[in-house]
Each structure stands twice: as structure tokens, then as C-alpha cells.
Structure 1
Amino acid sequence: MTKKHLNNLIFLVSLLFCGMSCLAQNTTDNSILLTDLLVELETKHNVKFSYADKDVYSIRLTKPKYDALKPTLEYIRTTTDLTIIKLNDRYYSLTNTSTISICGYVLDNFEENTIPGATVEIFESKLASITNTNGKFNFENIPKNSIVQIKHIGYKPMFIEAKDLANTGDCKKIAMALSYQELDEVVVSQFLTTGLNQLKDASIELNIEKFGILPGVSEPDVLQTVQALPGIKSVDETVSDINVRGGTNDQNLILWDGIKMYQTGHFFGLISAFNPYVTNNVNVIKNGTSAAYGDGLSGTIAMQTSNKIPLNVRGNAGFNLISGDIFGHIPIQENIAIQISARRSYTDFLNTPTYTTFSDKAFQDSEVDQESEFYFYDFTAKLIYEINPYHQLQVSMINMSNNLNYLENIEGYSTPNRSSLNQDNSSIGSQFKSEWTDVFTTDLHFYYTQYGLDAITVTNNESQELNQNNLVKESSIKLITNYKVLESIDWINGYELTETGIENRTNINQPPFASNIKGVIRKHALFSELKYTSENSKFYGMLGGRLNYFENINTFKEYIFEPRINLSYELFSNFKTQLLGEFKSQATNQIIDLEQNFLGIEKRRWILSDGDALPLTKSKQGSIGFNYDTDTFYLGIDGFYKKVDGINVYTQGFQNQNQFDGEIGSYAVKGLEFLINTKNNVYSAWLSYTYNKNDYTFDALIPTSFPNNLDIRHSITLAGNYTIGNLKLGCGLNFKSGKPYTQPNDNEPVNNNVFPNEINYESSNSSRLPEYIRADFSAVYTIKLSDKLKGTLGASILNFTNRKNTLNTYYRLKDDNSIETVERISLGLTPNASFRVQF
């Protein structure tokens, strides 16, 4: 240290001691502890003070200049939070008034009727109560600067400072303003199991927190659960290939917090990519969709996380035989909360019976063996900010990934072949909800999502490298306004702008080859609809339309108008009829690549319509339904017709003579859905039946009309669940008729007159696979670990009879000119177990 630095240090230390000395001198001269002052007053004026030590301990104030007792006491009263009460000529009491008693009467906005049952919460003290039959509430010892929230269904929440409600003898009257936010009316309180509700617009709502149990599912996997509904199945047993009323998976609109998702499954479709314990509710729409939604020719599955701010930290954590996860919902302030979740598989270092069965299913008919290293993870985060009672901001983020790496030793080569496959999705979105007046609200959405599928294969002693990539980038902004014309009529309007860019790249170094196909489509949409609910709630109607303008910068521009209708009427008690209809269109599709791309596993690539080889896909759908519902019995039947134009054979997964033709055509589905459900507080049993007649029409093919690849003509489910105390049991049987496929010609299976040789097929989809039968079982047991902790043990068995169901059959021509038959087999007996702690 230099002399200069030493002198500076001595100066600073001296300055510090000087300041402390001055401060001490100032404290000694000008301030006094309140307890010492009270002792002086007792001696000087012959009085006595009673007080609680905690109320006056450590209170210091400037020494008063008064000699008289009265002005000195007034000085103490005004400079502290103490109340001084004269008991008699000699005795005085001192109490701390930093806490106060509050009370109030809660009335409607006309101040005529009291509101019993309103919730009154004190944020700082975490106290809560409800108003009595007279609308009154009261609390003792409340911090006077705390915030009091008053809320009740049908009214806008109110926030009042506690000091404004101080009990001075008369309790304040508080008038609450009516809230006109429309809530979906639940038609069926329990649909198959608790937490599944049918709403008045014929959509199905899944409430995760109240979810009961379904056969084969011990945990509420979102995309597995929706397949319990009539008309929603998967021909290949995956959650990433869900078929709604005979449509392909790319014709479904999957939304998470309003963000369109291009990846929906983990483990190549066997597990939902959406953590069910993060998802608060799911809305499933098969027809009669609101004009606010575009895309989704076949159906819409809209998932929503919680938008509430909890009073206390809550969450859960658990694991099963594939993965472990944790979730937390954490209040930061009284108007700010965050949600966070993380899930990861341990399949890269632990083999379980469930993983083995899943591997057999996922990697059959591929280059991958079980010596591979595979894992997945997903992460979500959400911020909820209630700016004030009329404005709320939500920001959501989700990231998910699947990763596969494996080595393949080849005889004659010193270095094994290396391959990897990565599938990732990252998305962020926001929602700003505003209530400007009692009759006018807005909802502003924005999101950006990016999906990528990358495969790398290095072969021939690392001399040859193949890179393949499918990349999707999409951003969207949407404004929805709701104007309440009358108490029974809502007028909804909005605008949506979406820009989607998709790129497909293939690169090989030896021999050199490069392909890069990319495009961008912008879609502008204006939409408007009227919703009407009669006063007696017997009639509900929605009539709307959506005008889309598609613009592919390089190829086409097109306007499309999409009318929507949704009507329901209660003909008589418990018996209702529904009439639904919609036109829809979309510009994104998945081609199914059958040439062992992406290692023969993930064969689907997202592509954009170009207006020529792949035009915009358009659909028309109408349905009529009847249902009878009581507290213990439900009977429903729906008939529908759907026609989809503008499909390409590349998007349909043909594996016969048509798979490389690139022809444009259509398909039409005629169907019937039937459900009967009996239930009470301890059990629910149901039988569902779906009939579909699903046919293609391709004018350029011979024959021009033949069964759709997804033509599952008959589907039956018989299932039930039963609750015994804390134990829930579920068992079910699923039956599906076989899907169509095309066999080689028996007389001349191979055509040797062309080069290269080809398989001679029979008429397209003229054969059918055997029927599909699967029996499932599940059990869940709940344990109370403490007052704040609850444990859940779960076990399930998919296909407990271990039946080998054939999901698909196709043929390949081998080098020796013989035909190889390839069959994809269903999951075998698949056990799973789980444990979860909720807090």
C-alpha cells in the first residue's frame, strides 16, 4: 500500500468515527426511549401508565419540550401509533393502534340488497371470512395499512384499505358492481368421470384438479384422456396422431395458453408433451367452433393453465416409471404470482418395464435398437399480474425436447455408424385481459412458437454425413372484443394476424446433394359472432363468421369466408337438441415421409400450402344431436357429415401404388356417435359407440373412390370406475374394427416389366386388418400425509391381456425381388406406477 493510499484510509476512518460520535451525541441530546419518558412523567406528575411491553418496546422519539402533562400526552399520541385512554385522574392506558378492528356491510351496486356469502380476504394477515346473511363481516387486530379484498360470483372484486373500514361504531356500507363476464353453463356435471363436463355449446371441458380416473390411466394424461370421448381415437395408439371424426392429426388445432403447438408428444407420440398438473382445464371442440378460432379442420383442443393468484404456495411433485416432475404455483405479492414446472425422463440411465414396452412399440420397423440412449424433458413458466381489478396480464412459456442417440456397429468397418434425432419446441405467449366498462371487455393475445426436428446420420467410417431438418416458426397477434348488447346477447368481434414460415432441408456430403424448401404464409382474419342465451336458459345460440385472407408471398393470394353456427334448445325437461355447423380452412399440413427419413421413426414433416401441388385445405361440417341428462343418467346421440377438400396423397400416409402420385383429392365422413352413461357419487359406467364411413375421392386415381386410411368403421368402449373411500378403480374394454390396407395381387405380385421392379397391388384399401381389442385397468389411492400434504399412489395396466393387435401392414420389395411384409404391432402388456405429493 502506498503512503498516499494509507493517508486516504486514515482520513476515511477518522471521518467515520467523527460521524458516529456526532450521531451518538445527537441521539443522546435529542431523543429518548418512550419507556424512559413515561417513567419521568410518572415521577413528575404523580400518574401511572399501563401498557404491554411489546407495544412500546424500542419506540424512540424526540424529547418533548413541554412541561405540562396534557400537551406531552398529545405529542406522544400524534407521533406514534399509540392510543392513550384516561382511566381516572391518575391512571392512563396505552395501546398500539397499528392494528385495528374493521367491519362492513356488502351490498349490491344499487345499495338495496345485502350480499351474503361474499369472500373477504386480508392479504397481509392471510385471514379470510364470508359475509353473514345480512352481508356483514368483521375482523379484529388487522394491520391498518393492509388491503382488504371483497369478491363474489357475479360481481367485480373490490380492494379497500383496512383503515377505511375501521370500526368506529358504524360499519361502512360497500356497494359491489355487477360483473357481466359470461361463464360457460355446465350442462352435464359429470361426464364419464369427475372433472369431465359437457358445456352448453356442446364442447367438452376437462378440469384436471377435479379429474377422477379412467381405465389404463393412473395420471390424467391430457391427450390420452380426450380419446375416451366418442369420435376421438388414434389409429396407431399415439397421442401425437389423434383422429377426430376421421381426420388426420395435422387437421387438429392444439393450443396451450392460446399458443398453437406443432409438437404434442414425447417418446415419439406415446406420452403427452403437456404436463397435466400444470394444465388447469382442457376444452375439446368437434364442431360448432367459435369464429375466434381458425385452422383445426377436424377439431380443437385448447389447454389453459391457471390464471388465478393463490393465497399460499401450492404445488405437487411426483414420478412414474418413465419420468419425474415438479410444479409450483407461488404468490409473489397479492397481485403477482408465478407458475413453474419441470419434467424429465430417466430413460437414458434406467430401464423400466414401461420403457421396454414403449421402446418395442416406438422403434419397431426402424433402424433403432434398444441399446440407444433416449430421454425427454419439458419446462413451463407463467407470470400472472393483476394490474388492478379490471386488467390482468399473463405471460406463458413452454419448452420441450426429445433426444435420441445411438451407435450401430457394421461388420467390416472400424467405426460404428452414429445417428441422432432431436425434436424441440419453444414457445412464448402473452394475454392481456381488460374490462373497460360493465358491458365492454377486450382480450389481446400474442405468441411466438418455434418447432424443429433435426436428424444426423454419419456412416461409412464417418465419410458420409446426412443432415435433415424440419423447422417451423410462427408468430401471431389476436384481439377479441366482447360487447354486451343486452343481458342475454353478447357481440364478439376481432382481428387476427398470423405469419408462418416452414423450412425443409436435406444435405448429404457424399455424393453432394442439397435441398432447401421454405416458404412463408401470412393470414389476416376478421371475425364476428353473436351469442344469445334465453332468460330461462333453455335456448343457446351462436351465429358467426370468419373472413380469412391467405397470402403466400411467392405463389398465391386467396380470400375464404367461414360461417359458423351453434344452436341448442331444451325441448322438455332434461332433453336437449343441438344443431352445429362450420366451414374451416388451413394452410399447414404434415407430409408423411416413408423413405426411412429421420431414422424411420419420426416420418412427419410440416409443410405449407403453395396453392398448386398442395392447395389450401378446406372443410365443411354439420351435425345434429340429442341428449337426455339427469343427475344419474346420460344418453346422447350425434349424427354428422364432414367433407374436406384439397388433401394431397403425401399428407395421408399411403403405402401402396398411390403413395408417390402427388394427386389432389378429398374425403367425406358420415358418422354416428352414441353414449350412454349411468353414474352416482361412487361409480360411473358407460358404453360408447362410433360409426364412421370415411371415403376418399381422387379423380386422377383408379378407382376414384375408396376407403380412407383412417376408415375405422366401428368403435366401441365399455368402461367404468368405482370409488371405495380413498381408493378409485377403473376398468375398460376397447374394440375397433380393422383399418383398410392394400395387399399385393395374388396372381402377379411383382411387375417385372418396369425398372425398377414394382409391387402389383390390388384395388386401393380393399383389405382390412383384424379387429383391435384392448382391456385396461387402473387404480389410485389417496393418503393424507399431514394437514397440508396429500399423497397419491397410482397403478395402471394397458392391454392387461397382452393381445397383439396389428396397427398397420404394408409391403416392401427386397433386393432378390421378393416381397417383405411389414407389420406394426400395438403396445403389449404395459404396466405403470406413480406416486405424487400435493402441498
Structure 2
Amino acid sequence: MQRTLHKPFIVFAMVLLSLSPVFTFAQAEVFGLKTFIARLENSFDVKFSYVDADIQGIEIKVPSSKKLQEILNAIATQTGIEIKQLSERYYALSKPRLVEICGRVLDNYAKNTVPGATVEVLGMDKAIVTDIDGFFRMEAVDRSASLQIRYLGYTTRIVPIAELADQGECPKILLAERREVLTEVVVYEFLTKGIVKETDGGITVQTQKLGLLPGLVEPDVLFGIQTLPGVKSIDETVSDINIRGGTNDQNLILWNGIKMYQSGHFFGLISAFNPYLTERVSVYKNGTPSEYGDGVSGIISMETKNDIGDRFSGGAGFNLISGDAFGQIPITDKLAFQFSGRRSTTDFLDTPAYVSFTDRAFQDTEVQNQQNQEVNENLRFDEKFLFYDVSGKLLYDFNEDHKFRLSFIGIDNDLDFSTTNTETSETSRSFLDQTNLSAGLQWFGDWSERFSTHVNVYFSKYNLDAQSLFPDQQQRLFQKNTVEERQAKLTTFFRLSDNLQWINGHQYIETGITNQADVTTPEFNLNIKDVVRIQAPFTELQFNTKNNGFITNIGLRANYIQNLAEAGGAFDRLLLEPRLNLNFKMANFLRAQILGEFKSQSTNQVIDLQQNFLGIERRRWTLANENDLPLTTSKQGSVGLNYAKRRLYISAEAFYKTVDGISTRTQGFQNENQFDGELGGYEIRGMEFLINQKGENYSAWLSYTYNKNDYTFDSIVPPVFPNNLDVRHTLTLGGTYDLGNLKLGIGINYRTGRPFTQPTEDNPLDTTVFPAQINFEVPNSSRLPEYFRADASATYQFDLSDRVKAKTGISLLNITDRANVLNRYFRVSDENEIERVDNSSLGLTPNISFRVSF
């Protein structure tokens, strides 16, 4: 019998059939987006248009909703696809063109962050640099474009932006070190991470990447460079640096292109420059680029961070001497401000490090009489010492091609020192105020792909006020030394071809120095001001072959120097100063370098009252003149070999240098020639050797320096004798080891003793004159005992949060507590006896630090 279907049942069945694709599809958890869209078209009678590549391979979790708009919203949320309704029935699907991306750039070898890496969107006018944590973030970038990430020493990496945008979080991007170019090594990293020898003969210290050095609890700009062969401090300070046998005033010290006349705190025991904002330090011992004048011994140029980050970064910390803070604040994407500040705790907190430093600066003197008995002078010392330094930098990018940088720095040392004789209750007091205030403007301009310019203008002022009150309160000594300097320099860079660059420029410098002295008893008054102006055009050609088999820099600088002294000593001089740097490949892994330079300088430091009690030197800046202090000139040539294969680096360099136009008043003589003002020069022959072996988590090195440094003074008998800084042999052995976040370092420093002059044995004291005078032997015919010091340090880094990192450290200087004699001189006591005065080195000096950075 034929069955008849009722109409309501037929309608219900048709509805079920029409909905069956959606119901069937909803039971699946994950499905391809393209297939799901086709089912939606059938179920809801709509049409979607799209590019296959935009949705190809995308899978979604099927929404549970049965409403079309809710389903579309869920698709957009899961995939980031933009869905636009064109009409009642038609829809368009597309990936967003502009997206926000972020990432963190890491070292592929050490898994360390890479701060300062350039992140550029190819095809767009967008580029930033990674912050101190290697992090970057960019908004409104084209999904179809690619990122180019590059950093010196690493292989450039190209990353599609779509890969970063689709990950949903900030991914890690690893940069591989450029190790495949070992057969053509030109730039060498040695000792510890962040110290690089450049092709122009200079050595760059990248302070943000600098690894641990023995004896340092945290980075110190001027202490760190003393690990380099040929760079040391005879009197064991961080700011009185001797480069290849020269005095500290023969170094040109620059901070953001500004000449600094003060570089240390605590009489040179502490560097005055914040290492956490200092991005790089360049050291030149020879072959200096022609844009640099002055500094006949060497150049030390410091540069703070020069790029605008996209977020606030900074840090703070303390050690047993001082506390400091620093930071960089991005105000807009084109404007940022850097700041740093440090203040000592020495005026209200006595720590082991402070006690050791004060012993070294004030109370380290051992006095013996002619019978080699220690002289007990029954003296009590009281000192109040305070130092601070502040710096700032305003960074403004007018656009990608023109950038302005305004920098300033202030350095201050204040000392109140008194000496009391406990037997007579007589007290003498000394006051000292030492400041350096400087400001400078830099403009970097790129006018085309081949032509760029750099303008540097600065003003620098140094002031030293010293006053002494003697026990009778009737005698007073006042000294003042002021330096004011203005400079304007324009440098142009023109790339003639891919292998040839031509650098030209002109530098104008005006330096005025005032020296005042006022003594009440006997009455004496001095007030001298000199002004020197220098006009210096310079030019340089830089050429390298395609494979860097041959690299050369040839330059010439012309110094036209005018002294405008009204009281005599005025002069005009024109000096031509050629510069040469040849660097060429001799064999695989082996390169040779030939360097040469002529240089001159018009500023020097004379040393007054060298033999005062405690032997604390009184140095004051002065200008060359035609009367008693000529221009200082130097000539130098060197030949070196560099071998680098895998993790082994060996270098050897022989050099010859002559310096003329020096005075016994600038060299620190402590014999009968101290105040004579004899003029002469010195000649150095030397050799520097370094071998460095690195592993995955260690670095070990051995360096040796030989110097033969002789004075020539025609009016002294004999005319040729050893230089006060003639240290023949210097040996350094050191190593570091990394255990994850724990870093360890240990080092040994050895050198032969420096020369000094002692009294004659037969007739040491001439009492026939008043006051009595010491009869000395031949100048610098005796030597101090050898110097030995062992140092160690350790640091540990850990995370306080995702953004905040912490580091703590401990260091020990002079682990063996050896009493090294740094200097020895002789004087006549009130009883007409000869006394020997020994100045000793730092004893065992511990220091600890704690820092946070973000």
C-alpha cells in the first residue's frame, strides 16, 4: 500500500538537509580555512573573494556558533585575516598589509643579547637599533616586506616580516658570527670579548660587549685599556696613562669629540667617565688618522651611545667608593635624552677600598734617614674627600640623513686635607677644588650615498684651585690653573668608488691657559695668561682591494700654530704631519702592518712642588712658547705582524719613536735638575708581543713589552741617560672563565723597576751652601725593585624580572698585598740629614658592587 508523506514532515526534512553541511562541519575541531569558507558559501548563500596565498595552509578551530557574523568574527580573531563585507551577499578576505612586529636579537654562539644591532625594513623608510636587551618593536610595517638585521662581526640576516607577524609573540632571532671569513681576517678580537684591533691600527673597546677583566668589579674605561700591550700606568693610576713611554699629558683624551683636561677622580685612581653610556673607546698608539692633532704619545677617544632607542633603558649601582645611575629616555621617535651621574661616598662612609685608596694617595709614604731607620714624624692626617661627575646627551634625528647630538659633562674633585704634629700640635691645611666643564655639538649629515659630513664644535673649561695654610698661619700659598678651549671642526667623506674614500677637513682650536700663584712669605705673585690658536686643514685617502688583501690610509695634516702671548714668547709655526697605515695579507691567517706618523702638541703639564711632603704632585697645564717651553713634536714608525686562525691570535710589533721639545719641568725629575727647565727630548725603541688563546668559555693571554727609553739633554752631564719612565720589561699573564652567568678572571702583572737618582756615597750632602743641597749621582743610574701584582675578580648576573637584570661582583687588587715601591726620592730634613722617601702601591684592595639594569 502506497504511503503518503505529510507536508510538515517534508518541510522539516528539507531544513535538516540544508543545515547538514554546517552541522557535519561543526563536529570537527580543526579544519582548513579554504574548505570551511566553501561550506559557508553553501550554507549561507554568500560568496567570498580572496587571494589563495593569503589563506593557503591556514587551519582554524571551527566556531560553535551558527550565526554567520559570529563565525566570521571568530575566524578574524583566530587568524588575523581582515574580512570586509562588500554587499549583502559578497565578502572579501585579506591579510592586513600593515602589521606590528617585535623580536629579540641574540648571539647564535653565546646566546647573549646583541644590543645596537640595526633592524631595517627593506623598501621602507624605517630602521631602528636593538636596545640593551637586544629587543626591538616596530609598528605599521608592510607584511610583504622583509627585515634586514646586521651588526659588525655577524652575518647579516634577512627575515620575512610575515613570519614575525604570524607568530603572535616576540620571537628570538639568532645572528651567526661571521666565522667563515677567517682566511681573510682583517679585524681581530682578542683578550676578552669587546676588544678589537681595527685595520687602521687603532684598538676599539666596545664597552657594552666588554667581558670581564682581572681586578675590575665593573667596567672602567681607562683601567681596561691598560691591559693592551704598550699601555700602562707607572704610578698605578687609571688616568695617568703612559703610552709607549710617554707622559700622560702627551695623550689626547676625547669624550664625544671634546678634549678633556681632567680624566680621573681621587688623584687618578678612578676614571671620571661612566662606562655604561660609553659605547666605544678607540686607542691609537701610531698611524693616527689625520683628523686628529695633539697627543704625541697616543689618542684615547670615547663615544657614548649615538642611536635613539624605542624604549627607556638604564641602570644603577654602587660599590665601596661611589654610587651611580644612568639612562636613556626616548621622548619621541626622533628625540631622546641620555644622562648619567655618580657621587662618591667617601665623605661619609669609610670602607676597606676607601682606606686603601687614601693610604695610596696620602699616607703611603715611608721615610728613612741616613742610617736606614724609619723616621717617626708623629703626624696625624685628616682628610675629607668628595667627587662627583654628571653627563648628558640630547639626541635629535632631523631625518634619516641628518642627526644632531648635544653633549655636556661635569667633573669635580674637592679635598680638605690637614696634617697635625702630635708633639707640637701644629697643623697645616690644604684645600683643593678641581673641575672640568665641557659641552659640544655634533652634526652628522648624509647628503648622498657617496658624500657625508661631520661637524664638531665644543667648549671645554678646566679649573684647579689649590690653597695651603702653614702652621704659623702667616704663610699662605695659593695656586690657580685655568684652561679654556674652543674648537670647530668640519670633516667631509667622499666615496670615490667602492674601494676608495677621500676624507678632507679643517680644524680650528683656540686654547687659553692662565696660571696664578700667590705666596705671602716670602712675598711672591705670578699671573700669566697665554693663548694659542691653531688652523689645521687635513686630508686622507683610504683604499682597500676587493678582498681586503691590501688596505692603506695615507694622510697629511698641516698645523699652523700661533702663540699670542703679550709678555713675550709669541711665535708662528707651520708644521706638516704625514700619516701612514699599510695593512696587507702575507699568507692565509697572516697579515703585516706598517704604521708611521708625525705629530705635535702645544699643551703640556709642568710639575711644581714635586718634593713636598707625601710626594703628591702638583701639575698645572701650560702652553708652549719661545722662552722656556717649545712645541713638542714626535716622529714614529712601526712594523707589525698579526696571525689569527680559529681561536688563536698572535701579534708582534716593533716600533721606534722620538719626541723633542720636552723640559725637565714636565717630566717629574726629583734631583738637582728638577727646577732647571733644561730642554731636550727622548728616544724609544721597543717591541710588543701578545698571544691569546680562546675557547668556548675561556680566554687566556700572555703579553710582553720591551722598551728602551733614553733622554737626551745637551746641558746635563751625561747628556744621555734613562728616561724616568724607562721600564725595560713588562709581562702580563691573564685569563677569564665563564660558567654560565658566573664569570671569573685572574691576572698577574710584572715589570722591572723604574730608574731613580740617589745621593753620592762619598759626599752626599753639601752643607757649605744654605740651604744644604744633596749631591746626586749620575741621573737615573739606580733602579727600584721589580713590580709584581696579582688581581682577581668575579661577577654573577641574574634576572630580577623579564625586564630587570641584576649583576653583583667582587674584585681583589694586589692579592698578595705586596708593597711595591712606585717612586723614590730624597730630601733634606730640618736637622740637615738626608731622608729617603718611598711612595708605595695600593695594598690588598677589595671591592664589591651591585647593579641593576633595565
TM-score (norm 1): 0.80
Aligned residues of 1:315 and 1:328 also touching (Cα < 8 A) = yes
1:102 is aligned to 98
Once the 2 structures are TM-superposed, how far is the Cα of residue 247 of structure 1 from its aligned partner? Answer: 0.5
2:798 is aligned to 783
Aligned residues of 2:129 and 2:309 also touching (Cα < 8 A) = no
1:681 is aligned to 696
Residues 168-179 of structure 1 aligned to structure 2 (within 5 Å): none
| 635-644 or 218-227, larger mean C-alpha shift | 218-227
The one-letter code matched in structure 1 to 2:273 is F
Change (3 A) 1:491 1:86: closer
2:144 is aligned to 136
**CA deviation digits over 1:449-502, x for unaligned, max 9?**
011111123345755443211111111000001111111111000000000011
1:405 is aligned to 416
Tell whether 2:621 aligns with 1:613: no
**CA deviation digits over 1:762-817, x for unaligned, max 9?**
11100001100001101011111111111111111010000111111110011222
- Partner-residue secondary structure (3-state), 2:363: coil
1:88 is aligned to 88
Once the 2 structures are TM-superposed, how far is the Cα of residue 420 of structure 1 from its aligned partner? Answer: 1.4
1:630 is aligned to 645
Aligned residues of 2:671 and 2:776 also touching (Cα < 8 A) = yes
2:195 is aligned to 196
CA distance in 2, matches of 1:509, 1:809: 30
The one-letter code matched in structure 2 to 1:307 is N
Among 449, 455, 460, which residue is 1:444 paired with? 455
Change (3 A) 1:756 1:512: closer
CA distance in 2, matches of 1:404, 1:355: 14
| 595-604 or 643-652, larger mean C-alpha shift | 595-604
1:584 is aligned to 599
Once the 2 structures are TM-superposed, how far is the Cα of residue 513 of structure 1 from its aligned partner? Answer: 2.9
Aligned residues of 1:118 and 1:130 also touching (Cα < 8 A) = no
CA distance in 1, matches of 2:124, 2:823: 58
User: Which stretches in structure 1 are left out of the alignment for 5+ residues?
Assistant: 1-47, 52-81, 105-113, 139-148, 155-161, 163-184
Among 779, 782, 791, which residue is 1:767 paired with? 782
1:433 is aligned to 444
Once the 2 structures are TM-superposed, how far is the Cα of residue 746 of structure 1 from its aligned partner? Answer: 0.6
Residues 174-189 of structure 1 aligned to structure 2 (within 5 Å): 187-189=186-188
2:156 is aligned to none
Residues 513-592 of structure 1 aligned to structure 2 (within 5 Å): 513-554=524-565, 555-592=570-607
CA distance in 1, matches of 2:811, 2:423: 46
TM-score (norm 2): 0.78
**CA deviation digits over 1:296-346, x for unaligned, max 9?**
101101000011000111111111110000000111100111100000010
Once the 2 structures are TM-superposed, how far is the Cα of residue 365 of structure 1 from its aligned partner? Answer: 6.6
**CA deviation digits over 1:321-374, x for unaligned, max 9?**
100000001111001111000000100000000000000001137899653110
Among 512, 518, 523, which residue is 1:501 paired with? 512
Once the 2 structures are TM-superposed, how far is the Cα of residue 130 of structure 1 from its aligned partner? Answer: 12
- Partner-residue secondary structure (3-state), 2:186: strand
The one-letter code matched in structure 2 to 1:128 is M
Aligned residues of 1:364 and 1:824 also touching (Cα < 8 A) = no
The one-letter code matched in structure 2 to 1:380 is S
Tell whether 2:385 aligns with 1:374: yes
2:396 is aligned to 385
1:745 is aligned to 760
CA distance in 2, matches of 1:553, 1:614: 15
1:394 is aligned to 405
Residues 478-489 of structure 1 aligned to structure 2 (within 5 Å): 478-489=489-500
- Partner-residue secondary structure (3-state), 1:650: coil
- Partner-residue secondary structure (3-state), 2:763: coil
The one-letter code matched in structure 2 to 1:535 is K
State the identity as a percent. Answer: 50
Change (3 A) 1:126 1:546: closer
Among 810, 827, 839, which residue is 1:824 paired with? 839
2:372 is aligned to none
CA distance in 2, matches of 1:767, 1:126: 61
Aligned residues of 1:121 and 1:150 also touching (Cα < 8 A) = no
Aligned residues of 1:468 and 1:598 also touching (Cα < 8 A) = no
The one-letter code matched in structure 2 to 1:645 is D
Residues 151-170 of structure 1 aligned to structure 2 (within 5 Å): none
Residues 702-721 of structure 1 aligned to structure 2 (within 5 Å): 702-721=717-736
CA distance in 2, matches of 1:369, 1:299: 41
Residues 324-363 of structure 1 aligned to structure 2 (within 5 Å): 324-363=323-362
Tell whether 2:311 aligns with 1:315: no
The one-letter code matched in structure 2 to 1:439 is R
Once the 2 structures are TM-superposed, how far is the Cα of residue 120 of structure 1 from its aligned partner? Answer: 6.4
2:747 is aligned to 732
CA distance in 1, matches of 2:401, 2:693: 42
The one-letter code matched in structure 1 to 2:88 is N
CA distance in 2, matches of 1:614, 1:420: 29
CA RMSD of aligned residues (A): 3.3
CA distance in 1, matches of 2:288, 2:847: 36
CA distance in 2, matches of 1:803, 1:756: 37
Aligned residues of 1:287 and 1:621 also touching (Cα < 8 A) = yes
CA distance in 2, matches of 1:313, 1:224: 29
CA distance in 1, matches of 2:330, 2:440: 20
- Partner-residue secondary structure (3-state), 1:354: helix
Change (3 A) 1:639 1:753: same
2:43 is aligned to none
| 406-415 or 626-635, larger mean C-alpha shift | 406-415
CA distance in 2, matches of 1:103, 1:344: 45
The one-letter code matched in structure 1 to 2:436 is N
CA distance in 1, matches of 2:127, 2:356: 53
Once the 2 structures are TM-superposed, how far is the Cα of residue 119 of structure 1 from its aligned partner? Answer: 7.5
Residues 294-313 of structure 1 aligned to structure 2 (within 5 Å): 294-313=293-312
The one-letter code matched in structure 2 to 1:296 is G
1:11 is aligned to none
Aligned residues of 2:185 and 2:644 also touching (Cα < 8 A) = no
1:757 is aligned to 772
**CA deviation digits over 1:52-82, x for unaligned, max 9?**
xxxxxxxxxxxxxxxxxxxxxxxxxxxxxx9
- Partner-residue secondary structure (3-state), 1:358: helix
CA distance in 2, matches of 1:152, 1:676: 30
Among 665, 684, 701, which residue is 1:650 paired with? 665
- Partner-residue secondary structure (3-state), 2:347: coil
Once the 2 structures are TM-superposed, how far is the Cα of residue 681 of structure 1 from its aligned partner? Answer: 2.1
| 359-368 or 384-393, larger mean C-alpha shift | 359-368
- Partner-residue secondary structure (3-state), 1:187: coil
CA distance in 1, matches of 2:620, 2:800: 48
CA distance in 1, matches of 2:124, 2:281: 29
CA distance in 2, matches of 1:611, 1:444: 33
Once the 2 structures are TM-superposed, how far is the Cα of residue 647 of structure 1 from its aligned partner? Answer: 0.5
- Partner-residue secondary structure (3-state), 1:706: strand
Change (3 A) 1:198 1:84: closer
Change (3 A) 1:696 1:418: closer
Once the 2 structures are TM-superposed, how far is the Cα of residue 747 of structure 1 from its aligned partner? Answer: 0.8
**CA deviation digits over 1:675-728, x for unaligned, max 9?**
000002200000000000000001111001000000000000011000011111
**CA deviation digits over 1:494-541, x for unaligned, max 9?**
000000011111123455432112200001101001000110011110
Once the 2 structures are TM-superposed, how far is the Cα of residue 102 of structure 1 from its aligned partner? Answer: 2.1
Tell whether 2:254 aligns with 1:244: no
